[in-house]
Amino acid sequence: MEKFTKAFPSRPFASRTAKPWALAGVVGSGNLEVLLEHVGKPGNRMECHVATSIPGYKASWLAALSDFASNYPAGGTRITINDQGAPPVLVNLRLRQAFDHLVKGDR
């Protein structure tokens, strides 16, 4: 199990969130869960906590998280990821799903 934490610069939320947190995905073989929380204070940083069962891919994780922080106004959020070997495309999907749930409140 590999665990790490990293903060990324990101634009602050442009609008209010529909709810304080959102969850996407499940912890299971080849999948992951993403918990995205609005920390309640404006900011230009996205804080990420990753726990993955597959060690040695930290650089890939950091690239995917950096890309998300660059393309979404996720400043002022905390992201917690529990991974069980999800491919990068699924990581991006779950991040976008959690963000949409947080902003739109559809879950």
Reported as a single tens digit per residue, the pLDDT across 17-72 is 778 899 999 998 889 999 999 887 767 899 999 999 999 999 999 999 999 999 99
Give the C-alpha separation, 102 to 21, whole Å. Answer: 6
Give the C-alpha separation, 14 to 106, whole Å. Answer: 18
Average pLDDT of span 1-5: 95
Distance from chain centroid for Cα 35: 7
Residue ranges making up the domain that contains 18: 2-104
End-to-end CA distance of the chain: 30
The total number of structural domains in the chain stands at 1
Whether pLDDT at 96 is above 70: yes
Whether pLDDT at 88 is above 90: no
pLDDT value of position 9: 95
pLDDT value of position 18: 74
